[in-house]
Amino acid sequence: MEIIYRKAKISDVEEIHQLVSYYAAKNLMLARSRSSLYEGIREFTVAEYNGRVIGAGSLHIIWSDLAEIRALAVRPAHIQKGIGRNLVNLFLKEARQLEIKRVFALTYQQEFFIRCGFKAIAKEELPHKVWKECVNCPLFPNCEENAVIINI
């Protein structure tokens, strides 16, 4: 059976929610409500295996030249097999098609993104607009996430 990468559908929301909630409970990523997943479902791409979502993530546009990879997660049983990188590459392709020049992520998995071609930057270098989401986070302003960015 092969892994299928495709844009998410409404029927994927429950599995994406489960996946994100699993890692959010370990404080590895931000929790997402079902409501926000339904509203943002068009931003999501999933990796499907044997009829199940085993990986997911989204590309969120911030500004004319900037987008963010959000909610990227791969099921524990499937990590370290290149699925995260494949999803990142699909987001970079999507950004290129949209003529967006830079893609960033806020993450505890800096090394993974560096392996995907990103470089580390100071969070303060990101535009203020990025903080709109952060102010609603319980960890703000003491979050330990690192910023990584790639020019495409």
> Of the two residues 80 and 97, which places its CB atom closer to ligand COA in the complex?
80
- Whole-number minimum distance, CB 89 to ligand COA, in Å? 9
- Helix residue ranges per DSSP H, the chain: 13-24, 34-40, 83-97, 110-115, 131-134
> Which residue from 108, 130, 134, 152 is in contact with ligand COA, where contact means CB under 6 A?
108
Using CB atoms, what's the residue nearest to ligand COA?
A: 84
- Rg of the chain over CA atoms, in angstroms? 15
Q: Give the angle subtended at the CA of 128 by the CAs of 126 and 133, to the nearest 5°.
A: 95
> Which residue from 62, 92, 100, 107 is in contact with ligand COA, where contact means CB under 6 A?
107
> Of the two residues 67 and 73, which places its CB atom closer to ligand COA in the complex?
73
Beta bridge partners of residue 58, listed in sequence order = 44, 70
- Whole-number minimum distance, CB 3 to ligand COA, in Å? 11
Enter the tokens of residue 26: 């370990």
Residue 37 dihedral angles phi and psi, to the nearest 5°? -70, -40
- Whole-number minimum distance, CB 151 to ligand COA, in Å? 19
Q: Give the angle subtended at the CA of 79 by the CAs of 77 and 82, to the nearest 5°.
A: 135
Report the chain's terminal Cα–Cα distance, integer Å.
32
Give the per-residue contact string, 30-69, with ligand COA (x = CB under 6 A; - = no): ----------------------------------------
Positions that interact with ligand COA (CB under 6 A): 23, 28-29, 72-74, 79-85, 105, 107-109, 111-112, 115
